[in-house]
């Protein structure tokens, strides 16, 4: 032997050829993601939702062919509904990946909807009464205009909370195992309650015209449905309608006036009931970097808003609410759909409570507000008086004295409205936030972060230039896209914009970059300099 080590023996493991996975395989997805299905009781909730339709089918069968036909109609509708919902449950799956969620449907045609996680603006959890009895929930995913929307109807309550937490969590490179593994390794942090409606605040509902007129809308919808159903079944004819009209006209005046008075008395009561149904136990809390608003008595809704997308808040009220010291609070979120409802933080609350919640979610509201110049008072009054006065002049020329008299009364009543519009004008800045306020019948005070401002626009009409006034439009990438500070002085409008974003305004100032140091502000320009013309 020459002392060399014996050759090593290399062992080989046979490799088994496996067929490639099928694309429609509902098993584990690529990247370790797991394919999930909706809760098996989904079709039960669907069957409950179709109960009204089944009763309508049974009523139709009863009219057409009697009890036996109604029974078969109802049985056929129930069988078809259950089959449809079972098939929908069996052919719908969803996959949660590190960067997106995929919704797959293959009932008739195959479709895959992919929603990137970085495009998701909010996750809403809704549970109607049948869902709550079965401990289920509907998850609605809002990804803005570009990303689209997605809905999971329905999953267990625990799965809904997990999806909300994972989908709104920011991608973290420290968790290579993905969002599901990161969520499984640690429990969700406890929530911190920011505000909760008190039950005595429900009496504020009549102050809002929306809830005050809701009973009329519901009654109108019910009467319209009954009329259409009776017309289709032949129960309503022209003769019967005419007979009913003659009977009503022939009734004593007392029997007509008393029901009208009772309806007027019932209006505020009904508005409180409707308000309570929609906003029962309205609670705002913070959890997992999101602001969550929960509300509802029969149908419980939970709306999650990412705090990192919060750009400002809006406080709004009407004259009746102002007298009672009540206001409504909403959030301005980047790319949020249906912001009027989904961005609601408080439907009606004392102004001090709303301001406190605004400070918790955004920061202190700048105060006090700077009043606009006296020249704006005459402009506000003129704009309020001009419409009825103009119509009155036309009525005089047309020989309509009653219309002219009515317009004259309206013009006189418009003067206090114009004065109140002027009193509500104001703006302020401080603490990295800007606030502007305007309006009378609907007063709005918007508070936005300086970093959320994406542009300015100074508008001066012919009449504003004569009064040295200007309207400063603040472009914001959230809410309605921008808000106006109406009828400011020209110097104040330029100074306000220059104080917040000096580099943007410097090229447009008359003094320019070479302004004398004595007239320049701390940022190197003159905030009070007029714009170049």
- Tokens of residue 329, six digits: 């609070």
Domain CATH number, residue 411: 2.30.29
* Contact of 362 with 312, CB cutoff 8 Å: yes
Q: Based on the domain organization, do 321 and 244 belong to the same domain?
A: no
The count of other CB atoms within 10 Å of the CB of residue 21 is 11
Q: What is d(CA 109, CA 87) in angstroms, rounded to the nearest whole number?
A: 13
Task: Report pLDDT for 49.
Answer: 67
Task: Report pLDDT for 274.
Answer: 87
For tokens 């800007």, name the residue.
Answer: 434
Q: What is d(CA 196, CA 204) in angstroms, rounded to the nearest whole number?
A: 15
Domain boundary among 303, 333, 361: 361
- Tokens of residue 386, six digits: 């001009």
User: Do you find a cis peptide bond into 285, omega within 30 degrees of 0?
Assistant: no
Domain boundary among 327, 361, 395: 361
State pTM to two decimals. 0.76
Task: Report pLDDT for 171.
Answer: 42
Burial label for 225, CB within 10 Å (0-12, 13-18, 19+), is exposed
> Is residue 466 in a domain?
yes
Q: Based on the domain organization, do 353 and 397 belong to the same domain?
A: no
Q: Based on the domain organization, do 393 and 302 belong to the same domain?
A: no
Contacts of 12 (CB under 8 A, 6+ apart): none
Q: Is 217 helix (H, G, I), strand (E, B) or coil?
A: helix
* Contact of 178 with 97, CB cutoff 8 Å: yes
> Is residue 531 in a domain?
no
> Is residue 153 in a domain?
yes
Question: SS3 sequence, 477-525?
Answer: CCCCCEEEEEEEEHHHHHHHHHHHCHHHHHHHECCCCCCCCCCCCCCCC
* Contact of 212 with 271, CB cutoff 8 Å: yes
Contacts of 161 (CB under 8 A, 6+ apart): 125, 188
Q: Based on the domain organization, do 473 and 441 belong to the same domain?
A: yes
Q: What is d(CA 150, CA 94) in angstroms, rounded to the nearest whole number?
A: 10
200 HSE (CA, 13 A, CB side): 1
Task: Report pLDDT for 518.
Answer: 34
CA-wise closest residue to 120 among 89, 154, 103, 144: 144
* Contact of 203 with 321, CB cutoff 8 Å: no
User: Do you find a cis peptide bond into 419, omega within 30 degrees of 0?
Assistant: no
Task: Report pLDDT for 51.
Answer: 63
**Count: domains in the chain:** 4
Q: What is d(CA 254, CA 260) in angstroms, rounded to the nearest whole number?
A: 10
CA-wise closest residue to 99 among 185, 186, 176: 176
> Is residue 108 in a domain?
yes
Q: Based on the domain organization, do 163 and 213 belong to the same domain?
A: no
Q: Which residues of 62-93 are buried (b: 16+ CB within 10 A; e: fewer)?
A: beeeeeeebeebbeebbeebeeebeebbeebb
Q: Based on the domain organization, do 43 and 160 belong to the same domain?
A: yes
Q: Based on the domain organization, do 218 and 318 belong to the same domain?
A: no
Q: Is 435 helix (H, G, I), strand (E, B) or coil?
A: strand
For tokens 């302020």, name the residue.
Answer: 428
CA-wise closest residue to 304 among 277, 284, 330: 284
What angle separates helix 375-397 from helix 401-424, to the nearest 10 degrees? 170
Contacts of 330 (CB under 8 A, 6+ apart): 313, 314, 316, 339, 340, 343, 344, 345
CA-wise closest residue to 487 among 419, 422, 416, 429: 422
Residue 436's domain spans which residues?
Answer: 375-508
3-state helix, strand, coil in the chain (%, to 5): 45, 25, 30
For tokens 């019932």, name the residue.
Answer: 266
Q: Based on the domain organization, do 297 and 234 belong to the same domain?
A: no
Q: Based on the domain organization, do 203 and 243 belong to the same domain?
A: yes
Q: What are the pLDDT tens digits along the chain (533 aa)? A: 444 444 444 343 343 444 444 333 444 444 456 889 998 888 777 766 666 566 655 555 555 544 555 566 666 666 776 777 788 888 899 999 888 899 998 877 788 888 888 888 788 999 988 888 889 999 999 886 555 688 898 899 999 999 998 888 754 433 444 444 444 444 555 678 999 999 999 999 989 877 766 666 666 666 666 666 555 555 666 666 666 666 666 667 776 677 778 777 778 888 898 899 999 999 999 987 889 999 999 999 999 888 888 999 999 999 999 999 999 999 998 877 667 778 899 999 999 999 999 999 999 999 999 999 999 999 999 999 999 999 999 999 998 999 999 999 999 999 999 999 999 999 999 999 999 999 999 999 999 999 999 999 999 999 999 999 999 999 998 778 889 999 999 999 999 999 999 988 877 775 554 443 333 333 333 444 455 54
Q: Based on the domain organization, do 35 and 92 belong to the same domain?
A: yes
> Is residue 303 in a domain?
yes
Domain boundary among 361, 393, 418: 361
Q: What is d(CA 507, CA 527) in angstroms, rounded to the nearest whole number?
A: 12
CA distances from 313 to 17, 288, 427, 501 (A): 61, 20, 15, 21
Q: What is d(CA 148, CA 112) in angstroms, rounded to the nearest whole number?
A: 13
> Is residue 4 in a domain?
no
Q: Is 90 helix (H, G, I), strand (E, B) or coil?
A: helix
Q: Based on the domain organization, do 219 and 237 belong to the same domain?
A: yes
Task: Report pLDDT for 214.
Answer: 67
Q: Is 223 helix (H, G, I), strand (E, B) or coil?
A: helix
> Is residue 422 in a domain?
yes
Contacts of 43 (CB under 8 A, 6+ apart): 82, 85, 86, 88, 89
- DSSP label at 161? H
CA distances from 46 to 154, 348, 512 (A): 10, 34, 67
Name beta bridge partners: 101.
Answer: 96, 115
- DSSP label at 180? H
For tokens 């023996």, name the residue.
Answer: 9
Q: Based on the domain organization, do 295 and 344 belong to the same domain?
A: yes
> Is residue 421 in a domain?
yes
The count of other CB atoms within 10 Å of the CB of residue 461 is 12
């Amino acid at each position: 032997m020459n002392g060399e080590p014996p050759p090593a023996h290399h062992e080989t493991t046979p490799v088994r050829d496996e067929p490639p996975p099928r694309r429609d395989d509902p098993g584990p997805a690529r990247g370790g993601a797991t394919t999930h299905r909706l809760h098996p009781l989904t079709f039960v909730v669907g069957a409950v939702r179709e109960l009204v339709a089944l009763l309508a089918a049974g009523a139709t069968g009863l009219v057409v062919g009697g009890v036996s036909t109604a029974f078969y109609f109802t049985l056929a509708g129930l069988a078809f509904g259950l089959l449809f919902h079972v098939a929908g449950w069996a052919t719908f799956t969803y996959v949660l990946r590190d960067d997106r969620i995929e919704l797959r449907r293959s009932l008739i045609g195959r479709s895959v909807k992919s929603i990137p996680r970085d495009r998701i603006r909010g996750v809403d959890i809704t549970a109607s009464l049948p869902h709550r009895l079965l401990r289920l929930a509907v998850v609605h995913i809002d990804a803005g205009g570009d990303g689209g929307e997605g809905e999971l109807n329905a999953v267990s309550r625990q799965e809904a909370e997990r999806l909300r937490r994972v989908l709104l969590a920011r991608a973290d490179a420290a968790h290579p195992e993905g969002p599901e593994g990161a969520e499984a390794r640690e429990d969700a942090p406890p929530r911190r309650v920011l505000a909760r409606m008190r039950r005595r605040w429900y009496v504020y509902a009549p102050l809002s015209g929306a809830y005050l007129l809701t009973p009329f809308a519901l009654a109108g919808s019910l009467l319209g449905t009954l009329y259409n159903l009776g017309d289709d079944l032949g129960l309503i004819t022209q003769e019967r309608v005419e007979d009913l009209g003659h009977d009503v006209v022939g009734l004593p005046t007392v029997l007509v006036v008393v029901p009208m008075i009772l309806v007027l008395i019932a209006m505020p009561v009904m508005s409180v009931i409707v308000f309570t149904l929609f906003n029962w136990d309205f609670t705002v809390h913070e959890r997992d970097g999101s602001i969550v608003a929960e509300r509802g008595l029969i149908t419980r809704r939970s709306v999650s808003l990412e705090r990192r997308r919060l750009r400002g808040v809006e406080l709004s009220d009407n004259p009746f609410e102002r007298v009672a010291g009540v206001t409504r609070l909403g959030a301005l979120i980047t790319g949020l759909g249906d912001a009027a409802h989904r961005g609601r933080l408080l439907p009606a609350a004392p102004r001090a409570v709303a301001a406190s919640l605004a400070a918790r979610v955004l920061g202190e509201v700048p105060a006090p507000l700077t009043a606009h110049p006296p020249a704006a008072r005459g402009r506000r009054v003129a704009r309020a008086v001009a419409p009825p006065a103009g119509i009155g002049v036309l009525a005089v020329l047309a020989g309509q004295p009653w219309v002219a008299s009515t317009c004259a009364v309206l013009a006189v009543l418009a003067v206090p409205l114009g004065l109140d519009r002027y009193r509500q004008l104001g703006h302020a800045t401080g603490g990295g936030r800007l606030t502007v306020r305007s309006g009378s019948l609907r007063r709005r005070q918007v508070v936005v972060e300086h970093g959320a401002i994406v542009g300015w626009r100074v508008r001066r009409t012919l009449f504003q230039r004569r009064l040295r006034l200007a309207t400063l439009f603040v472009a914001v990438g959230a809410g309605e896209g921008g808000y106006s500070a109406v009828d400011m002085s020209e110097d104040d409008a330029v100074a306000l914009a220059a104080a917040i974003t000096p580099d943007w305004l410097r090229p447009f100032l008359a003094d320019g970059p070479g302004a004398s140091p004595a007239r320049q502000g701390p940022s190197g320009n003159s905030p009070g300099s007029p714009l170049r013309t």
